[in-house]
Structure 1
Amino acid sequence: MSYTCPSSIRVGDLLKIEEERLPFSRRTTRRRSAGAMGKSDLKTMANRMKARGLQKLRWYCQMCEKQCRDENGFKCHCSSESHQRQMAVFGQAPGRAVERFSGEFLEAFLALLRHGHRGSRVAATVVYSELVADRRHVHMNSTRWATLTEFVEFLGRQGLAKAEHTPKPQGLEEEEAKERSNRKDHWLSPGIVAKVMSKPLAEKGHHYYKHKGLVRRIIDRYVGEIEMLESKHVVRVDQAELETVIPQIGGLVRVVNGAYRGSNARLLSVDTERFSARLRVEKGLYEGRVLEDVEYEDICKVASHNVYVVLHTCFRQCSLQRVQYK
């Protein structure tokens, strides 16, 4: 099941939100420099907004009302002392907690249905998207309904709403199936250029912060071995401390997450207000297909062939020297 962001957020809205968090004495300076912001600053701001908004349902803990950004963060939260205390409370009366969450979810859903779509025929996903736009809503994974379809069937049986089954178009179902199967919590792949955003490395005196490097290989899916483009130093960085790089218009990118994961494409245009790009797939099964509104974080610049070959050769020579020395 896919989820939709509540609305497109304009750059001006982002700047206003960021400015409100600054002291009054610094707001004027920030306003003057806002026009000179680059793509990197806009992307950083977009990531901050995503952290505030709705994220993946399976990484949300309703008992603690805690949203995690990836699988690793959710595992760390589950092992925390605060979560264990909440689960102990839940274990004393699990049925009561589930019924309470189910009642709150049902009440909120019906309220939206009555006030926004009274007497009209509307897709359940539309109402659900309006419900989840509020980050503080009760999430479905804490109710007694496993899926939205199951919940809508419950509404029909109880006479709370008239439920009708409308099959989706074949093409849309295929797209959603590809999105579900190819959407992962890890996105690194060899041959792409990523930007190091690790502040701990900067604090240790290394000049890698906000510098770009070529991803040589992947370790345990989440750690990349990065060869810095300027110094040729090789460092290991977790993907959480890396950022995708967007090339100039016409540059080659790789789709690193989502339905077309692994495909190389040509960057046709960018939408700085929606933090998305328009691509044309270069080779493979989907060659020539134009992809609309692909998010920045789902694409990354591909290293040019010459740079990749040179760095690969140097990397192999260094590896052979280490082996001979041992």
Structure 2
Amino acid sequence: MGKADFLSPKAIANRIKSKGLQKLRWYCQMCQKQCRDENGFKCHCMSESHQRQLLLASEDPNKFMDYFSDEFKSDFLELLSRRFGTKRVHNNIVYNEYISDREHVHMNSTQWETLTDFTKWLGREGFCKVDETPKGWYVQYIDRDPETIRRQEEQARKKKQDLDDEERSAKFIEEQVRRGRDGKEPEVSAGGDGRGVFTVCTTFNTPCVRLGKGKTPPDKTFNAGKMEETSGGDTEEGDLSQDRQTYSRSDKKKKSALEEIIEMEERKKKKQQQVRTDYWLQPNIVVKVVTKRLGDRYHKKKAVVTEVRDKYAAVVKIIDSGDKLKLDQNHVETVIPAPGKRVLILNGPYRDTEAVLEGIDEKNFSATLTLDSGKEKGKRVDIAYEDFSKLA
């Protein structure tokens, strides 16, 4: 059995030694060969195969360096996203796991001299969020996968909708409790002996009286929901007028002017909340593209909404180039024209109403509009910036 045989002790020892990590200074990236010591690396550099690889690299050195840099960057980011996700982690921990693979691309063959330079480059290019601490540099991967972004936006929209539903439910329950406490309807019946029914109720602060076929006993009168004994009385009209006056006095004492104003404002806010929705796109309005994912060609360009799909998405036509895009409502914003131009109200109690822009209140982020359609045509209202947009 010769020394070069596969099952020889020398060959087995060499394979055992090659399994472990060796020093990076004795690794040749061009030939992808790891040497165990300085003598072996020197012999490899003098070999004919290594000299041929150097001749190939000398023809276009930037090409090989760019290739190795791209491989190192892609493998490093893949390990960071797969192993740690979007967690904040020390860059040296990620690098130690990366170099544990014997087939990895070494950093000394890339355009970066140190791990710190590579970490700073990741932050400048927007691949990761980086920050320096006394313990070193930390990296946090930024997931830019379109499917992940869509799923996050869907979860945020669902969470917002659930919160709106909970708020509406809580306010509805609070309103019901308040009505039950303040607007309780007393109702008293006197019957069972064939003489009829006498009922006193209050609805919308107005007393009403319902009489049966028979006559009420003259010795009974009903005041403020309780029955009191009287010394006498022969006419029903006197009792009814007395009851009506008693209920009017009790209602006036029950609610003051301030309470009525508060109740009116609550009903107004509730009405406005019922007509507001989390979608606002409408055809034939002008919008501005605010997303940067489409590049500088479309960023901050104005477009006209030609079609609305599934309430939250729209097909828009870029005014300058005429290109058609399908965008989500989170990727566009409303456009405020000059005073005197026509706009369309997109949300709130005046939704789908055309109006004319009269003035802009920059302090309150709103504008004064004059309604130009609908039942309240000619009325001046204050609408927030995001609730109206320029008509195409």
Same fold flag (TM > 0.5): no
Higher strand fraction (1 or 2): 2
Structure number with the bigger relative contact order (C-alpha 8 A, sep ≥ 6) is: 1
TM-score, normalized by length of structure 1? 0.43
Q: Which structure's residues are more often helix, by fraction?
A: 1
